[in-house]
Structure 1
Amino acid sequence: MSGHANAVIHRAPAPASPANAAVSALSAEHAALVANAYAGFARTIAYLSEDDQARVERAFAFAQQAHAGQYRNSGEPYITHPIAVAQLCAQWHLDSPALAAALLHDAMEDCGVSKQDIAAQFGQDVADLVDGLTKLDKLEFHSREENQAQSFRKMLLAMAKDVRVILIKLADRTHNMRTLSVAPRSKWRRISRETMDIYVPIANRLGLNATVRELRELSFKHLYPWRYQTLVKAVERVKARRRGMAERVRSELEKAFAQRQIKVRLLEREQELYKVYEQMTRKGLSFAKVSDIFGVQALFENVSDCYTGLGVLHQTYRPLPGHFKDFIANPKPNGYQSLHTALLGPSEVEVEVELRTEMMHVVAETGIAAHWLYQSNGMDRMLADSLNGRWLESMLEIENVSDDASEFLSDVKVDLHPESVYVFTPKNQILTLPIGATVVDFAYAIHSNVGDHIAAAMVNGQPASLRTVLKNGDTIEIITADDATPHPGWLEFVKTGRARSKIRSQLKHANQQETSALGLRLLTQALRVAGYNDLPADSPLADAIWQNLAILHQGKSREQILQDLGHGRLIANELVKQIGQVLQGLGLRPDALVLSKERLMAPAPAAVLAIGGADSAPVRYAACCGPLPGDAITGILVSGRGLEVHRQNCPVAERRRAKEPASFVPVEWAEEPVGEFDATLILHLRNTKGALAEATVVMAQSEVDIRRIDMVEEGRLEAIEIRMGITVRDLAHMELLLKNLRRARNVLRAQRFMAE
């Protein structure tokens, strides 16, 4: 919003008199300016009932009073901005609550008007709309980025519940961009970049193509003023030269359609400067190559005429191969429908043609706003089903599983890109996904439970990797398993915000469960060593213990305390001392039988934790030594990271043991370790051609996967040192690999890495 901080603000109830009474307090010049602006707006809202028009007029009077004494950078009274925003909304035929909210959209933020004030005057629906448009208090946040993320989150969620919020916001942004030239030049880049990154994609998603074009042009104009002006002049010169060619194309096409008695309305499609610039920079084309394209929109009465008209076009001019797209049968996610083709016209000029019905043209230009323009034509259902209902719902789902505002905004941005692929379920239901979407994105688009339990997939009847990128027309079958769960690696390749947010949520939940389980195991073992039986679950004794511990630990719950144990923020032995004091206060002492059992059965002063198996405790394997099943190991509880496993002879572990002996936990490998384990290999190779290739062949034959290769600068040395990140099954697998490598002709030395 754009109110001035130094404006004099008056808060008063709205006058009961008509709008002209609110204008009368201004100077004669400003009063005339505001009166003319409101008169133009009043003519635009003639589609409303008299009662609704009166409600909008009262909102104007209230806004005028609230913004009294405030002026824009241009020197105009501030109220001219809300009028302009409401005017843009009226062009979409939004209802009276939306128009009232458009007039009041800055009142809460800039004038100190409360939500209760607006609700009392204009109803709860208007108050909710204005609240959704109001930014958050900047004083609540530590940085501009955090405030921006939280404000966008609030606006997008309000939009998901009521799309009128974003339509008003887009109108607000459009008028601010139209008047950006009078703002300080230091703000141009930031505001234009924000418009391109957030508002243009949202408008595109909602099918508001006219708004998209205008916001893009205005952003381009203020981001790159010199380039913009240069292109303006170049395009004007091209238009002047091509006027005759354009008239010839129109005449020949009108004649061709008339001969077949097809009614059509032909519109010349204006070249969008930003698109010209984008093609020049992205494709490395000259202006002459990009501008040598003539665009036509052909509007018909019905769908069958669109397809018939396509045949007429292809008979009139030769079609260019690979340029036909059918967005009528397969609409874009924002509801856009058209047939696209490209023809070789007169003088070898490329003619791009879009064919659609008049109604499709309205939707193409106004998107979801067509609901208000054509409420009586069944547009509401079409828009809800095929335009944006699914996307708006997905935003609410992302919000439900996202704790962080920046993370939420990042996930939503992923879904703001309209380029799509069209794929099918085994029952031939079509789904629209962003370009680059994978099998996992498809699974989450079906249902979150399908995504959470995906185990395998078939693409076009053939087994496919979960990271397979989908193409137009693919048919995908998802195979699920009850024990399958999301993998952290999926976050590296999924494309949709829905999939990303769901995976994060499941991983976070699973990690919390695993960490709590580890904390409970550590606590149970420490209790047994101290001579106590397991804490009884759901009993008065257990309740008494956890209530006392909550007092000692800042009110933390049982689950939070266990997570602190699992994360290493608490040491089990210290917690057991506190529990012992509670138990002794209740008259309970260590059990001699438990103590003697523990001493007889445990090979060390504390019970040993098994790791590496299917049901083992969640741990991190230290990168400094890369422990493998078969190595002698030890465990360290590292604050914030949980249980970290090291090789027993690891120097890093030894230094930590000297500093924090209480953090050490005895661990051993499970009887049957599962999975593969990371290790780092150091190779010294002859500095000769083929040496590295020889080593990698040996590794492939040894069934070892390479994750990364780090090579020091070769120089003129006779030998080079290479570090490889690899995965192996266990110590025996590693020793076999080292044995095979040492036999290679060009391998001078091969050994495991351990930090010093």
Structure 2
Amino acid sequence: MSIRSFAADLLPAKLHSTLARAPATGMAPQSEVTTFAELSEKLTYLSKADLKKVREAYKFADQAHLGQLRASGIPYITHPLAVTGLVADWKLDATALMAALMHDTIEDCGVTKPELIELFGSPTADLVDGLTKLDKLQFSTKEDGQAESFRKMLLAMSRDVRVILIKLCDRLHNMRTMDAMAPAKRSRIARETIEIFAPIAHRLGLNQMYRELQDLSFRFMYPWRYAAVGKALERARGTRRDIVDRMRRDVEKSFAEARTKVTVYSREKTVFSIYRKMREKHAGFAQVNDIFGFRIVVNSLPECYLSLGTLHQMYKPVPGRFKDYIAIPKANGYQSLHTTLVNPLGTAVEFQVRTEEMHAVAEAGIAAHWMYKAGTPGTGRPDEAQRLGAMWLQSLIDIQSDTHDSSEFLEHVKIDLFPEAVYVFTPKSKILALPRGATPIDFAYAIHSDVGDHCVAAKVNGEPVALRTELKSGDVVEVSTSPNARPNPSWLNSVRTGRARSKIRHFLKNLEHEESIILGEKLLTQALRNEGMAVPADDEEHAALWQSLTRWSGSRNRAELMVDIGLGRKIASIVAKRLAQLLGERGTRPGAVALTMGRYAANEAQVGQNVVEIDGSEGASVQLATCCRPIPGDEVAGYFGGEGLTVHTKDCSIGRRLRERDGDRWMEVDWAEQLTRQFESAVSVLVANAKGALAQVAQAISAAEADITHIDMGDERASETTELRLLVSVRDRLHLADVLRTLKRSSSVLRASRVKP
């Protein structure tokens, strides 16, 4: 059922007519190309030789799609023609036009890439291949397939931006002609468009396409809401037409008197942007007062600022509502002056002032590079949009190099498709655009990945700040680094850029991988010693042996097997028995000395090589349990739970339950003689409610040479007493006992004890 027939069944007749007539973007879309003759009229900018190549590509596509129909029943070739017509509006080259005509031939017609290379050359074939989905491959879920498809498209786009320009035109035409599809499919495609394709269009400065994709998505996702807002907009258009026409005449008259040649365009918010503003401000349609506005297009950059003076003499400006995007362009290259003025009726109206070329970039973004090949210095030329677009495309390559999972890659890209930005300065006055809510960590990774990985402190406007501090436009940011520093997993909760997130995850995964290999090798060595054997070397002589063992275990290689043992996914003793069997088949016999040492250690007569020692330098592969928070001096044991070794105290109730349920996963752990850091212990302190009680507790802990790393007072209302739950950093059990004694001597403390599960 089409969206119009669906609306006709449910909506009043008058409302339905509004839905049918309301343009998707507040402006009439350009006429759609349906024949090659109509397309040729748009290709006057091509040479005769290029036009001939495009004609050959059309004949090939027409033959390939022969007999195929769209869901509406019309010949399929009308779709590639319409897409190519949209591409031609940007004046893209012949290669892009040929790829647009043939963009579905590999996917839908069985044409191969080598065939396209032979007939039309490698550049065209590469573009078509970049546009082809991965429907023929098998994925575990539909989401995985979609994510991998986006990954391929975005990586092809990072090599050649024409891929995404054609893809966006393809999506736009599909959205314009979705009426014949089933409602569920329309809704799914519309959601995908508003979440991925519309933000990409915005990120590349393709604002006209961005607005239309948003409106079309909104229309298919929520037809009732679209119709209601569209009806209100049409009503407002009629009631406000007189004031808009009057303001336009006044503006043209003022600029004529100032002898400044300008072009005045009236601007109208789209249906979706009005709806979004109503949602964000919890307001009705009547409270959205900037539905209409004006664009003033002038000839040169100085005239932009002169025009601002003319406007401010006409109407009073609203304080705090002026933005200079010419001096500091948006992340997608957009440049204009924005000022909000109060019109004769007392309502606020936004004016945007820009040059012709700024206007081209504002509407066509990175595509303006083809529309205006040459720019005049100092006029906000399209080269700026091209440069900023290229920077973002390069960031996609960086994210890809650190991300091997398609869904994770798509998540990082979504994060980077931010609609708004803050503009901050480096100490050398270089401007960086970051997403709203970005922190000094994002700033550090934007400078260089090494700066981010080794960042330890930051200053904003000369003042030290926490690394999780939100940056604001105009901030001067400076970060300090240390060669021994490394990313903290908690940073993932505060960073906003996909680049920073992917770099942090990449570093932590590599760190976990390396540590898990070391731990796995240590555990296998200990387990194999119990069998009276030593672990064979990783060399050519033992390559077949390791291959047999990894095939038996289901691991791809030796390193992966060690990671699995280190993370507890495979039990070291079981792997050791299989390895001992394989060694026995090759003639290796247990050594009497090694067997004796292994059994001697296993019987706990000697604590030696069979025990994992904890010194505080362990990373992701060895964790201290947060239930009992073991500290040096506690009797401890290690449990393999699938994410490495977790250390519990032997009297931990949670640890005891795990041991009863899964005793094979436990191993002996002990503290090293030389420790590298202090350890956190949970302490409960009951204090009498009196002035300065908290200060006395803090002073007592400080006097015992310990630090408070966290404090929780609970949500209970104040009474005569309050229980404080603290995390205290101590050296060992003796140090903790000293802390508790010092606390108990404080006059405000009624009770102090270590918290145990």
TM-score w.r.t. the length of structure 2 is: 0.85
In the alignment, is residue 507 of structure 1 matched against residue 532 of structure 2? no
Choose from 635, 649, 655 the match for 1:632.
Answer: 635
Task: State the shift of 1:608 in Å.
Answer: 3.1
Contact residue 91 and residue 370 of structure 2 kept, 8 A: yes
The one-letter code sitting in structure 2 at the alignment partner of 1:76 is I
- Hey, what does 2:670 align to over in structure 1? 668
Match in the other structure for 2:408: 407
Q: In structure 1, list runs of 5 or more residues that go unmatched.
A: 1-32
1:512 is aligned with what amino acid? Answer: H
Counterparts of 2:597 and 2:133, CA distance in 1: 65
Quote the residue 1:266 is aligned against: 264
* 2:591 alignment partner in structure 1: 590
Q: For 2:180, which of 179, 182, 188 is the aligned residue? A: 182
Counterparts of 2:713 and 2:54 in 1: how far apart (Å)? 67
CA 746–125 in structure 1, closer or farther in 2 if over 3 Å, else same: same
C-alpha distance in structure 1 between counterparts of 2:196 and 2:275, whole Å: 20
1-side partners of 2:230 and 2:618: how far apart?
67
Whether contact under 8 Å (1:207, 1:365) holds in the other structure is: yes
SS in 1 for 2:647: strand
Distance 1:543 1:88, change over 3 A: closer
Work out whether residues 334 and 385 of structure 2, in 8 Å CA contact, stay in contact via their aligned partners in 1: no
Distance in 2 separating the partners of 1:376 and 1:259: 33
Match of 1:469 in 2: 470
Which residues in structure 2 correspond to 1:149-298 (within 5 Å)?
Answer: 149-291=147-289, 293-298=291-296
Output aligned runs, 1:485-634, within 5 Å.
485-526=486-527, 546=546, 549-550=549-550, 553=553, 556-575=556-575, 585=586, 590=591, 592=593, 603-604=606-607, 607-614=610-617, 618-634=621-637
Q: CA deviation at 1:742?
A: 7.8
**Cα drift, residue 314 of structure 1:** 1.2
* Aligned residues of 1:398 and 1:502 also touching (Cα < 8 A): yes
Q: Which residue of 2 is the match for residue 339 of structure 1?
A: 337
Query: Would the alpha carbon gap of residues 247 and 750 (structure 1) be closer, same or farther in structure 2, given more than 3 Å must change?
Result: same
Distance 2:461 2:454 in 1: 21
What is the alpha-carbon distance in structure 1 between the residues aligned to residue 617 and residue 694 of structure 2?
Answer: 32
Corresponding position of 1:448: 449
CA contact (8 A) 1:610 1:617 kept: no
Corresponding residue of 2:320: 322
Partners in 1 of 2:616 and 2:518 — Cα distance?
Answer: 15
Map of 1:44-55 to 2, 5 A cutoff? 44-55=42-53
- SS of match in other structure, 1:342: strand
Q: CA RMSD in A?
A: 3.7
Mapping 1:682-697, distance limit 5 Å: none
Query: Is the 2:637–2:667 Cα contact (8 Å) retained in structure 1?
Result: yes
Aligned to 1:132: 130
Q: State the alpha-carbon separation in 1 of the partners of residues 598 and 233 from structure 2.
A: 90
Q: 1:704 aligns with which of 688, 708, 711?
A: 708
Letter in 1 for 2:204: L
Cα separation, partners in 2 of 1:249 and 1:146, compared to 1, 3 Å: same
Distance 1:312 1:62, change over 3 A: same
- Report the counterpart of residue 20 of structure 1 in structure 2: none
Relative to structure 2, which stretch is displaced further, 608-617 or 96-105?
Answer: 608-617
1:412–1:697 Cα change, 3 Å: farther
1 CA distance for matches of 2:233 and 2:552?
A: 74
The aligned runs of 1:393-432 (5 Å cut-off) are 393-432=394-433
Q: What residue number does 2:112 align with?
A: 114
Is 97-106 or 663-672 further displaced after alignment?
663-672
| More off after superposition, 188-197 vs 320-329 | 188-197
Residue aligning to 1:18: none
Q: Is contact 1:704–1:726 with CA below 8 Å preserved after alignment?
A: yes
Q: Distance in 1 between matches of 2:589 and 2:107?
A: 61
- Is contact 1:398-1:498 (8 Å) kept? yes
Partners in 1 of 2:214 and 2:284 — Cα distance?
A: 21
3-state SS of 2:240 partner: helix
SS in 2 for 1:46: coil
Q: Secondary structure at the match of 1:182?
A: coil
What is the rounded CA distance, in whole Å, between the counterparts of 1:184 and 1:285 in structure 2? 33
State the distance in 2 between where 1:652 and 1:241 align: 70
Letter paired with 1:366:
A
- For the 8 Å contact 2:375–2:383, the answer to whether it is kept is no
Task: Determine the C-alpha separation between the residues in 2 that align with 1:486 and 1:617.
Answer: 12
- More displaced stretch, 406-415 vs 657-666: 657-666
Preserved CA contact (<8 Å) 2:151 2:409: yes
Verify the 8 A CA contact 1:613 1:672 in the aligned structure 2.
no
Cα distance between partner residues in 2 of 1:630 and 1:306? 73
Contact 1:138 1:147 in 2 (8 A): no
Shift of 1:116: 2.2
Percent identity of paired positions between Structure 1 and Structure 2: 46
Residue 642 of structure 1 pairs with residue 644 of structure 2? yes
- C-alpha displacement of 1:560: 2.5
In 1, Cα distance between equivalents of 2:66 and 2:544: 62
Deviates more, 1:543-552 or 1:298-307: 543-552
Contact 2:687 2:724 in 1 (8 A): no
The verdict on how the C-alpha distance between 1:597 and 1:509 changes in structure 2, with shifts beyond 3 A counting, is closer
AA partner of residue 40 (structure 1): E
Aligned to 1:374: 372
What residue is the counterpart of 2:24 in the other structure?
Answer: none
8 Å Cα contact 1:676/1:727 also seen in 2: no
> Any stretches of 5+ residues in structure 2 without a counterpart?
1-30, 702-706
Distance 1:262 1:113 in 2: 57
Separation (CA, whole Å) in 1 of partners of 2:74 and 2:625 = 65
Shift of 1:492: 0.5
Inter-CA distance 594–372: structure 2 relative to 1 (3 Å threshold): same
Retained in 1: the 8 A contact 2:684–2:726?
no
Number of matched residues?
A: 715
- Residue aligning to 1:14: none
